[in-house]
Amino acid sequence: MTIADGLARVRARIEGAARAAGRDPASVKLVAVSKTRTAEEVQQALAAGQSAFGENYAQELAAKAEALSSVSGPEWHFIGHLQSNKARIVARHAQMIHSIDSVAIARELGKRVAREGRAAPLPVLIEVNVGREPQKAGARASEIEEIAVAIRAQDMLRLRGLMTVPPAQDHGAAEECFRALRSLRDLHGGEAMLPELSMGMSHDLEIAIACGATIVRVGTAIFGPREERT
Ligand SMILES: *Cc1c(COP(=O)(O)O)cnc(C)c1O
């Protein structure tokens, strides 16, 4: 299966799920998760009409963004755990950050983005560890408000919504997690304040779309299986 085939299948799945949920397919944005993939593979996806790409590691994002800097189009989304010492790199290359999970990182990032001299504020999401899994990144639900306040205090960040990664491979648990994220959004100002819900990956994007996802982050179903880092 080529990357173009993978993309076509994923787009068809998104469209089917949106229609089944009575939603406009255009209300769901596809971020192609390109972690561990080469710049060449990203270019193949670009040629097949995909423009948004997700990366988990700051250095890898910088390397690919630089390799493709002469190519028009790629829009980079940072979806990995964000550490303070990597905030500068991410501030320079990302067009959206999905993974703000503390007041400290919101402040550091706000400062770094301001120094980059961007024309417009950087859209960001708060990552929530809905399932309260101990090893997982993401803020607790009880921390959303203070992180939202910290983000809104930064002139060069714009809070757009919430993101979550559900417990692995269990559709029932994923649905519960997506519903919970949506409820948290409703609790913290609703769609007017937090229009984006970034949730749903290769194996559960239909469930996420049924639960209101506006952004799905899909890797394997587009690019094929990857060798996971340890
Ligand atoms: C890797 C990753 C994805 C994509 O997962 P697939 O199962 O390959 O679709 C989505 N979101 C995050 C945060 C990831 O790390």
Query: Residue of the nearest CA to atom 12 in ligand 1?
Result: 79
Arithmetic mean of pLDDT, 162-175: 90
**What range does the domain containing 91 cover?**
3-223
**Of ligand 1's atoms, which has the minimum distance to the CA of residue 35?**
1
7-61 pLDDT tens trace:
999 999 999 999 999 999 999 999 999 999 999 999 999 999 999 999 999 999 9
Query: Residue of the nearest CA to atom 13 in ligand 1?
Result: 79
For residue 19, CA distances in Å to 150, 171, 195, 206 come to: 37, 20, 20, 11
Does some domain include residue 49? Answer: yes
Q: Which of 36, 26, 73, 31 is nearest to 52 (CA)?
A: 31
Arithmetic mean of pLDDT, 164-173: 88
170-228 pLDDT tens trace:
889 999 999 999 999 999 999 999 999 999 999 999 999 999 999 999 999 999 998 76
Q: Quote the pLDDT of residue 139.
A: 97
Q: Quote the pLDDT of residue 227.
A: 77
User: Can you give the pTM of this predicted structure?
Assistant: 0.97
| Beta strands at 157-163 and 52-55: parallel, antiparallel or unpaired | unpaired
Helix (H, G, I), strand (E, B) or coil at 127: strand
Does some domain include residue 230? Answer: no
In testing the pocket of ligand 1, which one of 99, 217, 220 has its CB within 8 Å of the most ligand atoms?
Answer: 217
Average pLDDT, whole number, for the chain? 96
Does some domain include residue 112? Answer: yes
Going from the Cα of 117 to the center of ligand 1, the distance in angstroms, rounded, reads: 30
Query: Residue of the nearest CA to atom 10 in ligand 1?
Result: 217
Arithmetic mean of pLDDT, 118-131: 95
**Of ligand 1's atoms, which has the minimum distance to the CA of residue 218?**
9
Structural domain count, the chain: 1
54-104 pLDDT tens trace:
999 999 999 999 999 998 889 999 999 999 999 999 999 999 999 999 999
Q: Quote the pLDDT of residue 158.
A: 98
In testing the pocket of ligand 1, which one of 9, 78, 79, 228 has its CB within 8 Å of the most ligand atoms?
Answer: 79
**pLDDT > 60? residue 230:** no
Q: What CATH number corresponds to the domain at position 198?
A: 3.20.20.10
Q: Which token pair is 111?
A: 């400062």
Q: Quote the pLDDT of residue 229.
A: 57
Q: Cβ–Cβ contacts within 10 Å for residue 120, how many?
A: 7
Going from the Cα of 56 to the center of ligand 1, the distance in angstroms, rounded, reads: 9
